[in-house]
Chain A
Amino acid sequence: MSNPNGRFGIHGGQYIPETLMNAVIELEKAYNHYKNDPEFNKELSELFNEYAGRPSRLYFAEKMTKDLGGAKIYLKREDLNHTGAHKINNVLGQALLAKKMGKTRLIAETGAGQHGVATATAAALMGMECVVFMGEEDTIRQALNVYRMKLLGATVVPVKSGTRTLKDAVSEAMREWTNRIDDTHYCLGSVMGPHPFPTIVRDFQAVISKEIKEQILEKEGRLPDAVLACVGGGSNAIGTFYNFIEDKDVRLIGCEAAGRGIDTFETAATIATGRLGIFHGMKSYFCQDKYGQIAPVYSISAGLDYPGVGPEHAYLHDIGRAEYVPVTDEEAVCAFEYLAKTEGIIPAIESAHAIAHAIKLAPTMDKDKIIVITVSGRGDKDCAAIARYRGEDIYE
């Protein structure tokens, strides 16, 4: 979908310091070589299947379907992957690529901690050094994941600048990359940042929609009417959408974090409230003030608490191919609890944003319609925060 300069329509590009230019050029060359290399793809498939536990299940949520009384609901269970989220797909791909490039050290940003855990995991597996940057605020919200990363041998650096969340973790990881390039690969966690990251991450996550397509054809003999996923930077969403982009009858629905509502300043719904800008290496939509200062966004979900969106999503929005809807904290928390009670599945609070929209959407659709929701991660990490949201203090 992107042209050689990494543009998706007007979005994307490489707005980064000169210090990093040769690094991204080298990365692009290496990726273009290895993506068509049978040996690389064989190794990656083996890691996906034997280590990460792919393919992930496409589960018919029968109770939820009956309860909502509309479209048939399938859940794409990325939460069942090793490390508990879709993040491992991208990380195994990038870590393998980095290793082929002769890099010995991975750095990463993380919001909820899932990408950090996945990167620490891949680094442990491949014998690489790992440093994860995490907003100080998020190290508190996601203390369990901080411990997991340390257990896996990674160094976790709490980022104390700005809003002390995902945006600041990305900035700090970029700063560290300009400081140490020779032996270090920046394992970016979402379909964002400078080219070629949005394309590389998309390609590694596209396994989600590739499998959904095969699985739904096997189960239902036809394609779904809609696929839903939550969108922060947008990696699980682009993974869910990608192989359906050409299937124009399949609605692509991205669910953004509205926080306390899109009419408040405490929101992270970029498509709903942002405007065109240039930040973190890309042109895309960003939450910002009239002078271009990036807004201090908010969501209960540390993984969606980001003021921008990946350039391919911005493009899919521009051309009207995908729809983006805001989902509030309250709706997401209700969906988190709903899926736990209805299907016995505790989703990540990020994924609960997609569940929440499905709860609204499914009843408006006929019973012969089919929707697929990607459950991008599991919710163990969120239990303490949701308990707090409900006014209950639990000790982990």
Chain B
Amino acid sequence: MSNIKSAFENKKAFIPFITCGDPDLETTKEIVKEAVKNGASLIELGIPFSDPTAEGPVIQGANIRALAGGVTTDKIFDLVRDLRKEITIPMVFMTYANVVYSYGSDKFIKTCSEIGIDGIILPDLPFEEKEEFLPECDKYGVDLISLIAPTSENRIAMIAKEAKGFIYVVSSLGVTGTRSEIKTDLESIVKVVRESTDTPCAIGFGISTPEQAKKMASVSDGAIVGSAIIKIMEKYGKESPKYVGEYVRSMVDAVNSL
């Protein structure tokens, strides 16, 4: 078992997503530190991919900017090594199957374990294909995070039963991006999850405001926010750590104000 469960102990989790290298790795490092300082429970680090098919325009843009800036998987590993000197909360990678596969699955996951990455989220790896990376994840003690979607229906229990670390509940149809309203019946999804496993579950996709985060955390174990943070990074560039920190503080307060 990885360190991930500690993020959900005795509190609701707020999980910020940060694309590594947007606008550069030095800024990423400062953003992560600010997020931790302001109460983030777990950090989701995005390794950029050229063709992120599960992302909306905002995170697509971050991927393009990061890759244009010359970020690579190896440089991101170095960033994590550096961050681990002072950060103890769980960190997971969010990327696409080809980034792991192309690096060499064993080498990638072994490195994750060595540098202190607790889990991997791959939006293009459904339950049916998890054997692609699960043997290596089990071997090195890195959690392969499962996703559950509004369309999962009869699949929820099957996925939840084998889930590790935490479960990423996708709030809405479509790709990542902020939404004014989340209509999915998340209570019902989380109910089935709870009946199937003790693994905590957090809700992501479409969340941007403290009100939304509070609502999502009230029905689950936490809220995940990506695009809203990327928008701050896009707006303030190298100056963004301070603003991301303030935003994280407001969201952490919201999810724990229940």
Quick check: B126 and A21 within 8 Å, CB to CB? yes
The answer to whether B151 and A5 have CB atoms under 8 Å apart is: no
A14 at the interface (CB under 8 A from B): yes
Task: List, sorted by A's number, 28 A–B pairs whose CB atoms are closer than 8 Å.
Answer: A14-B129, A15-B129, A15-B132, A17-B54, A17-B126, A17-B149, A18-B123, A18-B127, A18-B152, A19-B174, A21-B126, A161-B60, A167-B51, A175-B175, A178-B54, A178-B174, A178-B175, A181-B173, A275-B102, A278-B96, A279-B98, A288-B102, A290-B102, A291-B72, A292-B73, A292-B98, A292-B99, A294-B98
Query: Is A291 in contact with B54, judged by CB distance below 8 angstroms?
Result: no
Is the CB–CB distance between B124 and A281 below 8 Å?
A: yes
Please give, as numbers and ranges, the residues of chain B lying within 8 Å of A161 by CB-CB distance: 57, 60
Question: A268-282, CB under 8 A of B: which get 1 and which 0?
Answer: 000000011111110
Question: Distance in Å from the Cβ of B74 to the closest Cβ of chain A?
Answer: 8
Across the interface, A286 reaches (CB within 8 A) one of B53, B98, B152, namely: B98
A196 shortest CB reach to chain B, Å: 13
Tell me what chain A mostly uses at the interface: helix, strand, loop, or mixed: mixed
| 14 extra A-B contacts, CB within 8 A, seeds A17-B149, A180-B173 | A14-B128, A17-B53, A17-B123, A17-B147, A18-B155, A21-B151, A22-B152, A181-B151, A277-B98, A280-B53, A281-B124, A292-B101, A293-B49, A293-B50
In this complex, which of A13, A23, A178, A291 has the most chain B Cβ atoms within 10 angstroms of its Cβ? Answer: A291
What are the 10 closest A-B residue pairs judged by CB atoms, nearest first? A292-B102, A179-B174, A19-B149, A278-B97, A293-B50, A292-B98, A18-B149, A294-B50, A18-B147, A278-B98
Query: Complex formed: what's the CA distance from A256 to B69 in Å?
Result: 32
Shortest CB-to-CB span from B184 to chain A, Å, is 11
Specify which chain B residues have a CB less than 8 angstroms from the CB of A22 in the assembled complex: 151-155
A18 touches B98 (CB 8 A): no
Residue among A13, A19, A294 making CB contact with B151, cutoff 8 Å: A19
Residue of A with least CB distance to B72: A291
Q: Identify the closest chain A residue to B146 (Cβ).
A: A18
Q: Given the complex, which residues of B lie within 8 Å of A16, measured CB to CB? A: 124, 126
Could you say which residues of chain A place their CB within 8 Å of the CB of B152?
A: 18, 21-22
User: What 0/1 readout, one digit per residue, does chain B (159-175) give for beta carbons within 8 Å of chain A?
Assistant: 10000000000100111
Q: Which residues of B does A touch, CB under 8 Å?
A: 49-51, 53-54, 56-57, 60, 67, 72-74, 96-103, 123-129, 132, 147-155, 159, 170, 173-175
Interface of A toward B, CB cutoff 8 Å: 5, 13-23, 161-162, 167-168, 171, 174-175, 178-181, 275-281, 286, 288, 290-294
Q: How far is the CB of A287 from chain B (nearest CB, A)?
A: 11
Residue numbers in A under 8 Å from B128 (CB-CB): 5, 13-14, 21
Distance, CA A15 to CA B98, complexed state (A): 10
Scoring B50, B103, B132 by chain A CB atoms within 10 A of each residue's CB, the highest score goes to B50
Q: Which of A13, A19, A281 contacts B173 (CB 8 A)?
A: A19
CB distance from A344 to the nearest CB of B (A): 41
Q: Which of A21, A171, A280 contacts B155 (CB 8 A)?
A: A21
Q: Taking the nearest CB of chain B, how far is it from the CB of A41, in angstroms? A: 29
Pair B99/A291 contact, Cβ less than 8 Å: yes
Q: Which residues of chain A come closer than 8 Å to B98, judged between CB atoms?
A: 277-279, 286, 288, 292, 294
Given contacts A19-B173, A180-B173, contact A162 B126 (CB under 8 A): no
| Bound CA span A23–B132, Å | 21
Smallest Cβ-Cβ distance to A293: which chain B residue: B50
A179 to B149, CA, bound (A): 12
Residues in chain A near residue B173, CB distance under 8 A: 19, 178-181
How near does chain A come to B203, taking the closest CB pair, in angstroms? 14
| Most A C-beta atoms less than 10 A away, residue of B74, B125, B147 | B125
Identify the closest chain A residue to B56 (Cβ).
A175
> How far, in whole Å, are A13 and B148 apart by their CA atoms in the complex?
19
CB contacts (< 8 Å) of B57 on chain A: these are 161
Complex Cα–Cα for A162 and B97 (A) = 18
Provide the bound-state CA to CA distance between A164 and B150, in Å.
30
In the bound complex, what is the Cα–Cα distance between A167 and B128 (angstroms)? 24
**Closest Cβ–Cβ distance, residue A312 to chain B (whole Å):** 18
Please give the distance in Å from A268's CB to the nearest CB on chain B.
Answer: 15
Query: How close is A180's CB to chain B, nearest CB, in angstroms?
Result: 7
How many Å lie between the Cα of A163 and that of B97 in the bound state? 21
Nearest chain A CB to B177's CB is how many angstroms away?
10
CA distance A175 to B54 in the complex (A): 6
Contacts of B123 in A (CB 8 A): 17-18
Give Cα A178–Cα B206 distance, bound, in whole angstroms.
14
Task: A105 to B79: give the CA distance in the assembly, Å.
Answer: 46
A20→B101 CA distance, assembly (Å): 22
